[in-house]
Chains A and B, each alone.
Chain A
Amino acid sequence: AQSVTQPDIHITVSEGASLELRCNYSYGATPYLFWYVQSPGQGLQLLLKYFSGDTLVQGIKGFEAEFKRSQSSFNLRKPSVHWSDAAEYFCAVGTYNTDKLIFGTGTRLQVFP
């Protein structure tokens, strides 16, 4: 069965610092991988996705993620965090044979000025 693990429940960074949010998945084949961001009381916004091709994917708001098959990871990165990036971040995995996405438990990002 598919599963997604986000090991960090809560991360705090200073504005301008770099960021890496971790995501590990469990699935037998190459999955579809996604990162979503959610501001308080809002819906989820798709930041970026991977399903084939170049393993380094660029997303919106200056985010990027790298798919590493050998580590079953899809970590999200940003070189310089802005205060507006404070939110909840969810990694999700899907496959070719189902419409269902499996979400990780989320990482709450707090940004200090």
Chain B
Amino acid sequence: DTEVTQTPKHLVMGMTNKKSLKCEQHMGHRAMYWYKQKAKKPPELMFVYSYEKLSINESVPSRFSPECPNSSLLNLHLHALQPEDSALYLCASSQARGYGYTFGSGTRLTVV
């Protein structure tokens, strides 16, 4: 299995809702990432988990809360989001530095 699977593919949520994005990989990769991508922009790093521990948090607002239940799963919990948080949220994993990331196909999030 050489894929990163993200669910759901599309999500529409209100500003008072709580939702979660899920990401799964079975490649034995040690690091997992959340990126946010706005239209016509490069991906922006949000969080990095290395060996299931949060290693990088790019000063992301607390309305985004990551969770890594085990080495194969990564969640992003969303609460009280703003319309400007609408974007494509990408999950990625990597075997080691220098090997590059494997990206999922993303979750298209719309906040209304």
Contacts and interface: CB of A to CB of B under 8 A. Distances in A.
Interface residues on B, range: 20 to 34
A106 B42 contact: yes
B43 interface: yes
Tell me what chain A mostly uses at the interface: helix, strand, loop, or mixed: loop
Contact of B43 (A41, A42, A103): A103
Contacts of A99: 31, 33, 48, 50, 55-56, 94, 97
B98 A100 contact: no
Interface stretch (A44-52, A61-69, A71-79): A44-52
B103 interface: yes
Contacts of B88: 41
Interface of A: 32, 34, 36, 41-46, 49, 51, 90, 94-101, 103-106, 108
A96 to B, nearest CB: 6
B90 A32 contact: no
Given A43-B6, A44-B43, A106-B42, 19 more contacts: A32-B97, A32-B98, A43-B4, A46-B101, A49-B98, A49-B99, A49-B100, A51-B98, A90-B42, A94-B97, A94-B98, A95-B97, A96-B98, A99-B33, A99-B55, A99-B56, A99-B94, A101-B101, A105-B41
Nearest to A47: B100
A44 B98 contact: no
Q: Across chains A and B, which 3 residue pairs bring their CB atoms closest together, nearest first?
A: A43-B103, A103-B42, A51-B98
B106 interface: yes
B102 interface: yes
10 contacts: A34-B100, A44-B103, A97-B97, A98-B97, A99-B55, A100-B45, A105-B41, A105-B42, A106-B41, A108-B40
Given A41-B88, A100-B48, A103-B42, A46 B97 contact: no
Nearest to B44: A103
